[in-house]
Chains A and B, each alone.
Chain A
């Protein structure tokens, strides 16, 4: 079959790099323009296996030069639907890399291709060979494609014109992907990378919850798990939904039990207080509960000042990391603030009372307009008393929930300087202002002490936690 083409075709040639010394011509890439686009069309609009070239062909090109290239494929088939466009388009990369002597890099409007001297020596004269081979692979490997035709463009003006149109199509597609939610998919993804230093960490990545390190979203998880199912990212069959608001799934609970070595058997993806996601040291932002105002503050890695609770990111990160479910603290990725399910079990934005200004600005457009002015930053307040006043002034929703005795409490309670903790008036959760003074594991390692009480009955009348001087 490969005899029709003046080159070999095999997955074996993936990863083959065409070095500059071996280069005949180059297409698109960082120094030129190009794109790849797959469009669904009506069956009768497609001339199967058809190829059109707009602009000069390889035989008319000069060795060693760089040319623009647009590649448009139109596909049809009974099972072909517009949602498949992106998935099919991705494969252009794979298939063109199957061609010996050809290098295809990147995707969409960033594609970058090289044709080796060897290909020319072996008789390659036209882009038609490449287009036909690619189309053959599309049809062979993606059987739902019944008809396919290709238009390649090497004329700069025309490439630019079509690229502008393509950009709109990509943007519309992105809008659709952004609207993918936990309930729309069957699989979530897990990641084990950070278990090397946080062995009980259970990292779950869903459409509505980016990894807490901010690096891996659901699509990344899917891509990685598909390429290497044994690799660090793997699919989690989400199973049955046990708590819609909290985001509890049987599949996630099973994985939690396994990954944490029996430590945790329940994780609620969109909960802050009850069975929260574990926090390894990698999170971009740490959330902290402030019982004094019954609200949650968030502080990111880039903010070096102190949060209203008097603690810096590094301090709270040190206490929160280690792959545990930490009461009153939660590590998240910045994009989680853009999730419609953002800690929805605990009030979401309506529970958020403070964040650093830069972080707030980053996610500004995703904060509901009803609350956006009620979330304080370091410019508004620098301690808990001022925060309280700010929330009262702005009529933040948390204020309504403050206990009735609030009146007396509105005057700052006398605080003994070194007695900082008290039993929190939180939602039935023990959440001290300060993390317990248990050395915990930070970032890349270090010894930690783990105290596990099993089947213990403990009754405590009062806990006083004092800060070691």
Chain B
């Protein structure tokens, strides 16, 4: 049971990296839970998958219906069953989409139930991979409590690297129980490679891999084709396989 959240600045390649990781790991016969925690919901598409309903929808259902439910109904059991019913079960992985964030009103109780439910669900998988939204709020308000590793994806931009560093500071500040924070440099080109290695060193970030800029990947994404179609020997996928080895997955 290992839970890894993938974070980083917007557009750096979090979703692409998550999808490539999942793809490689599925072929290793691990049970994987893929979680799309980005309200924009891109991971299913990257996986060539579609998901109709989200955790957010179920949460809204509970909020909307609570006064009409039998008074002594066990709401945790009910929500749990709802979450299970929207968990997309595929060969090798299950996919859960978080969907819309909290609206106005009080979500304290429902989210608290949800945390308990997710604690239990996550235990059923060898590995949970969470693709998150850009930004940092989700780190402090997360529904999955057991996250113990972060993969911070950054591209070569100064801003991307700064975000990576801010995340590290934040993790310390809010006292998250993160045992490891790994950095993946993405979209690396022969031109920016050396400068990036230097920058990462200055920022004292622990780097686990450099994923090259991959024309084939960019093209698939542009045409809206799932990354599952990426050739196994493409530059990016090969580097991802190396990262998996390094992380001991």
Task: Beyond the given A16-B124, A106-B77, A282-B108, please list 6 additional residue pairs across the A-B interface where CB-CB is below 8 A.
Answer: A19-B89, A19-B124, A20-B89, A106-B78, A217-B71, A283-B106
Given contacts A107-B77, A193-B108, A284-B105, contact A334 B67 (CB under 8 A): yes
Q: Please, how many angstroms separate the alpha-carbon atoms of A191 and B78 in the complex?
A: 20
Q: Please, how many angstroms separate the alpha-carbon atoms of A190 and B73 in the complex?
A: 19
- Shortest CB–CB separation between residue B18 and chain A, in angstroms? 20
Which of the segments A57-65, A170-178, A389-397, A431-439 contacts the partner chain? A170-178
B74 within 8 A of A: yes
Which of the segments B80-88, B144-152, B196-204 contacts the partner chain? B80-88
In the bound complex, do residue A110 and residue B78 qualify as a contact, i.e. CB atoms below 8 Å apart?
Answer: yes
**Per-residue interface assignment for chain A, residues 444 to 456, with 1 indicating a CB less than 8 Å from any chain B CB and 0 otherwise:** 0000000000000
- Shortest CB–CB separation between residue B14 and chain A, in angstroms? 26
In the bound complex, do residue A214 and residue B70 qualify as a contact, i.e. CB atoms below 8 Å apart?
Answer: no
- The 18 sampled A-B contact pairs (Cβ below 8 Å) are A15-B120, A20-B94, A29-B81, A29-B85, A90-B74, A105-B80, A107-B73, A107-B77, A110-B81, A173-B70, A174-B70, A174-B71, A191-B109, A193-B108, A194-B108, A215-B63, A283-B106, A334-B67
B110 within 8 A of A: yes
In the bound complex, do residue B105 and residue A301 qualify as a contact, i.e. CB atoms below 8 Å apart?
Answer: yes
Q: Please, how many angstroms separate the alpha-carbon atoms of A224 and B91 in the complex?
A: 35
B229 within 8 A of A: no
B75 within 8 A of A: yes
B72 within 8 A of A: yes
Kindly list the 10 A-B residue pairs having the minimum CB-CB distance in the complex, ordered from nearest: A282-B106, A213-B106, A215-B109, A20-B89, A106-B81, A219-B72, A15-B120, A105-B81, A17-B124, A193-B108
A21 within 8 A of B: yes
Contacts of A173 in B (CB 8 A): 70
In chain A, what residue has the closest Cβ to B89? A20
Q: Please, how many angstroms separate the alpha-carbon atoms of A283 and B108 in the complex?
A: 11
Q: Please, how many angstroms separate the alpha-carbon atoms of A281 and B106 in the complex?
A: 8
B104 within 8 A of A: yes
Contacts of B108 in A (CB 8 A): 193-194, 213, 215, 282
Highest count of chain A CB atoms <10 Å: which of B72, B74, B91, B109: B72
B234 within 8 A of A: no
In the bound complex, do residue A193 and residue B112 qualify as a contact, i.e. CB atoms below 8 Å apart?
Answer: yes
- Shortest CB–CB separation between residue A305 and chain B, in angstroms? 15
A440 within 8 A of B: no
In the bound complex, do residue A223 and residue B74 qualify as a contact, i.e. CB atoms below 8 Å apart?
Answer: yes
In chain A, what residue has the closest Cβ to B31? A19
**Per-residue interface assignment for chain A, residues 83 to 122, with 1 indicating a CB less than 8 Å from any chain B CB and 0 otherwise:** 0001000100100000000000111101010000000000
Contacts of B77 in A (CB 8 A): 93, 105-107
Contacts of A191 in B (CB 8 A): 109
- Shortest CB–CB separation between residue A100 and chain B, in angstroms? 13
**Per-residue interface assignment for chain B, residues 117 to 130, with 1 indicating a CB less than 8 Å from any chain A CB and 0 otherwise:** 00011011000000
- Shortest CB–CB separation between residue B107 and chain A, in angstroms? 8
- Shortest CB–CB separation between residue B115 and chain A, in angstroms? 11
In chain A, what residue has the closest Cβ to B80? A105
The number of chain A residues touching the other chain, given as a range, is: 35 or more
- Shortest CB–CB separation between residue A168 and chain B, in angstroms? 13
Contacts of B105 in A (CB 8 A): 213, 282, 284, 301
In the bound complex, do residue A177 and residue B72 qualify as a contact, i.e. CB atoms below 8 Å apart?
Answer: yes
- Which residue of the partner chain, among A110, A232, A335, contacts B112 with CB atoms under 8 Å? A232
B66 within 8 A of A: yes
B76 within 8 A of A: yes
Given contacts A107-B77, A112-B84, contact A214 B124 (CB under 8 A): no
In the bound complex, do residue B71 and residue A219 qualify as a contact, i.e. CB atoms below 8 Å apart?
Answer: yes
- Which residue of the partner chain, among B66, B75, B89, B109, contacts A193 with CB atoms under 8 Å? B109
Q: Please, how many angstroms separate the alpha-carbon atoms of A94 and B200 in the complex?
A: 51
Contacts of A284 in B (CB 8 A): 105-106
Q: Please, how many angstroms separate the alpha-carbon atoms of A280 and B122 in the complex?
A: 32
Q: Please, how many angstroms separate the alpha-carbon atoms of A170 and B106 in the complex?
A: 29
Contacts of A174 in B (CB 8 A): 70-72
Q: Please, how many angstroms separate the alpha-carbon atoms of A284 and B77 in the complex?
A: 24
Contacts of A193 in B (CB 8 A): 108-109, 112
Contacts of B80 in A (CB 8 A): 105-106
In the bound complex, do residue B66 and residue A215 qualify as a contact, i.e. CB atoms below 8 Å apart?
Answer: yes
A30 within 8 A of B: yes
- Shortest CB–CB separation between residue A193 and chain B, in angstroms? 4
In the bound complex, do residue B84 and residue A105 qualify as a contact, i.e. CB atoms below 8 Å apart?
Answer: yes
- Shortest CB–CB separation between residue B9 and chain A, in angstroms? 24
Highest count of chain A CB atoms <10 Å: which of B73, B94, B120: B73
Q: Please, how many angstroms separate the alpha-carbon atoms of A76 and B75 in the complex?
A: 28
**Per-residue interface assignment for chain B, residues 59 to 72, with 1 indicating a CB less than 8 Å from any chain A CB and 0 otherwise:** 00001001100111
A216 within 8 A of B: yes
- Which residue of the partner chain, among B63, B71, B74, B110, contacts A107 with CB atoms under 8 Å? B74
Q: Please, how many angstroms separate the alpha-carbon atoms of A107 and B244 in the complex?
A: 41
**Per-residue interface assignment for chain A, residues 197 to 229, with 1 indicating a CB less than 8 Å from any chain B CB and 0 otherwise:** 000000000000001011111111001100000
Q: Please, how many angstroms separate the alpha-carbon atoms of A447 and B75 in the complex?
A: 34
Given contacts A106-B80, A107-B77, A110-B81, contact A21 B67 (CB under 8 A): no
Q: Please, how many angstroms separate the alpha-carbon atoms of A29 and B85 in the complex?
A: 8
- Shortest CB–CB separation between residue B103 and chain A, in angstroms? 10
